[in-house]
Amino acid sequence: QTRKERDLVLIVDEAHIETDTQLANEVINLFDPRIIIRVTATPKFEPSISEVRQKRAGFVEFPEEEEEIEKLSKKRQFSEDEIMLELAYNKRIELKKIYESLGFDINPLVLIQLPSDFKEKEEVDTNRKNSVLSYLKAKDVKAKEIAIWLSNEKTNLDSIEENNDEVNFMIFKVAPATG
């Protein structure tokens, strides 16, 4: 139904990890995207000049001195998690302004994925979740703007599918099986 109403663009992050499995293809087919963008910092192959010219593949190169991560880490000592949260927080604000300027009533949702590892103890997961919540609280994000979708905790998910839902951030944990 959605495909008939919209042209979907599917962005697959960490595309170098198990994205060519039967299960991954089944999930992609469910979305039936018009365009698939596979993103990875560690590609399995480098596209040929011909593929790039035909726009069948491509890559983006960021000179180190221009990387926003470098800028953030130079300001003060941020952890990797804090840098990623800061980048996502700022990008959400930027996207919100763009949507508003175009007259769209869309509230961008930032998905914050906690790691999923059978070896990690529950307390490590709780600490990571609390760290994210502390960061968001320091940014004056209200509790009603944060959804949580974990096996033992589900909060503020009632209308998260709506484009203009008041939830700005969703904390979730990926399933143990990748693909």
pLDDT digits (tens, 9 = 90+) for 138-153: 999 999 999 998 888 8
CA distance 154 to 158: 10
Residue 12: which of 49, 41, 46, 37 has the closest Cα? 37
Average pLDDT over residues 113-133: 71
Residue 53 is predicted with a pLDDT of: 85
CA distance 10 to 112: 18
Residue 65 is predicted with a pLDDT of: 45
pLDDT band, residue 124 (cuts 50/70/90): low
Lowest mean pLDDT segment, chosen from 43-47, 89-93, 129-133? 43-47
* Helix (H) / strand (E) containing 50: helix 49-53
pLDDT band, residue 177 (cuts 50/70/90): very low
CA distance 113 to 107: 19
Residue 109: which of 170, 159, 150, 154 has the closest Cα? 170
User: Whose structure tokens read 């930027």?
Assistant: 94
Q: What is the mean pLDDT of the chain?
A: 78
Share of the chain above pLDDT 70, in %: 74
Q: Which residue has the higher pLDDT, 18 or 163?
A: 163
For helices 122-138 and 80-101, what crossing angle results, to 10°?
50
Amino acid at 90: N
